[in-house]
Amino acid sequence: MTTDPKILNLNKARKERARSEDKARADANAARHGRTKAQRLLEAAQADKARRALDGARFEDENEA
């Protein structure tokens, strides 16, 4: 008994190969050029938290305003 060859959709195979090439290129660029999106978002959140904490600790004199 012989097994039938696996049917392959050429459009899906071509698109999958293009996706993997794009992913490899993106990974190489990320390694060359810096931080991930998650790292940038984390840093922005930490800076915002620090700014809010500083503003909350600000002393306001009643005579100034």
Asked whether residue 24 is assigned to any structural domain, the reply reads yes
Domain-located, residue 3: no
Whole domain around residue 15: which residue ranges? Answer: 11-56
pLDDT digits (tens, 9 = 90+) for 20-52: 999 999 999 888 888 888 998 999 999 999 999
Contact 52, 46 (CB under 8 A): no
pLDDT (average), residues 5-34: 91
User: pTM for the complete prediction?
Assistant: 0.43
Burial of 10 (0-12, 13-18, 19+ CB in 10 A): exposed
pLDDT bucket at 2, cuts 50 / 70 / 90: low
Quote the pLDDT of residue 64.
62
Judge whether 65 lies within some domain: no
Burial 36-55 (b: 16+ CB within 10 A, else e): eeeeeeeeeeeeeeeeeeee
Question: Looking at the 3D structure of the chain, how many domains does it have?
Answer: 1
